């Protein structure tokens, strides 16, 4: 699997170190409050699991699934809720946990949907963010790494369902998708 990568952008160790930093920042910001982490399936599974284990606060987690890219590498702009939350967001301190923000289309739809459910607070944590995401209106409070405008895989991020289980994050070699 790792021979399908053209370039490693972040090693597993670098990712874990950054997760620890972000977790400490969230712990400090939410001292004494109980957070509901909302993960976006499937990409956020790795970051959700590592982030909450690095945190010292009490946390609960819940999951949503929305449609995104399918098997290609271009954003379709079509967002559909495939699986909704079990939890009631009324009065809760909610942090949406994302793998990556590219155009921000997925997230801006999701945030207006979640905001209408009456949470006490609603913030976003994303492991990776691409430059185009800066154009979106929803402010992202916690960012793991800013990355170049390239299609990346690993650490939960897939290409046609594969590579989510790579520990490092990198760009795919052309022979994989051409």
Q: How far is the CB of 107 from ligand 5GP (least distance, A)?
A: 6
Burial (CB count within 10 angstroms: exposed 0-12, middle 13-18, buried 19+), residue 134: exposed
Cα 178 from Cα 162, distance rounded (Å): 16
Q: Where are the beta strands (DSSP E) in the chain?
A: 5-10, 35-41, 59-66, 81-83, 93-101, 121-129, 142-146, 152-153, 169-172
Is 102 a catalytic site residue? Answer: yes
Residue 67 CA, chain-centre distance (Å), reads 14
Name the residue with tokens 């930093």: 21
**133, 145 in Cβ contact below 8 A?**
no
Q: How far is the CB of 66 from ligand 5GP (least distance, A)?
A: 8
Q: How far is the CB of 142 from ligand 5GP (least distance, A)?
A: 15
Q: How far is the CB of 98 from ligand 5GP (least distance, A)?
A: 6
Looking at the Cβ atoms of 91 and 161, the one nearer to ligand 5GP is 161
User: Given 50, 99, 102, 158, which residue is catalytic?
Assistant: 102
Burial (CB count within 10 angstroms: exposed 0-12, middle 13-18, buried 19+), residue 72: exposed
Name the residue with tokens 């997925």: 106
Looking at the Cβ atoms of 5 and 105, the one nearer to ligand 5GP is 105
* Interacting residues with ligand 5GP (CB under 6 A): 43, 68-69, 75, 98-107, 151-153, 157-159
Looking at the Cβ atoms of 38 and 101, the one nearer to ligand 5GP is 101
Looking at the Cβ atoms of 24 and 74, the one nearer to ligand 5GP is 74
Instruction: Please give the positions annotated as active site.
Output: 102
């Amino acid at each position: 699997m790792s021979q399908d990568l053209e370039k490693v952008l972040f090693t597993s160790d670098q990712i874990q170190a950054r997760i620890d930093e972000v977790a400490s920042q969230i712990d400090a910001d939410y001292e004494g409050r109980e957070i509901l982490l909302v993960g976006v399936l499937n990409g956020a599974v790795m970051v959700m699991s590592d982030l909450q284990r690095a945190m010292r606060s009490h946390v609960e987690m819940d999951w949503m699934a929305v449609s995104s890219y399918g098997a290609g590498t271009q954003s379709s702009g079509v967002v559909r809720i495939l699986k909704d939350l079990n939890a009631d967001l009324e009065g809760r301190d909610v942090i949406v946990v994302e793998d990556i923000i590219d155009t921000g289309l997925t997230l801006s739809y999701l945030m207006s949907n979640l905001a209408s459910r009456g949470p006490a607070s609603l913030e976003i944590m994303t492991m990776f963010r691409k430059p185009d995401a800066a154009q979106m209106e929803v402010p992202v409070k916690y960012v793991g790494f800013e990355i170049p405008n390239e299609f990346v895989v690993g650490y939960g991020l897939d290409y046609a369902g594969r590579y989510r289980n790579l520990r490092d994050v990198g760009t795919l070699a052309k022979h994989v998708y051409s």
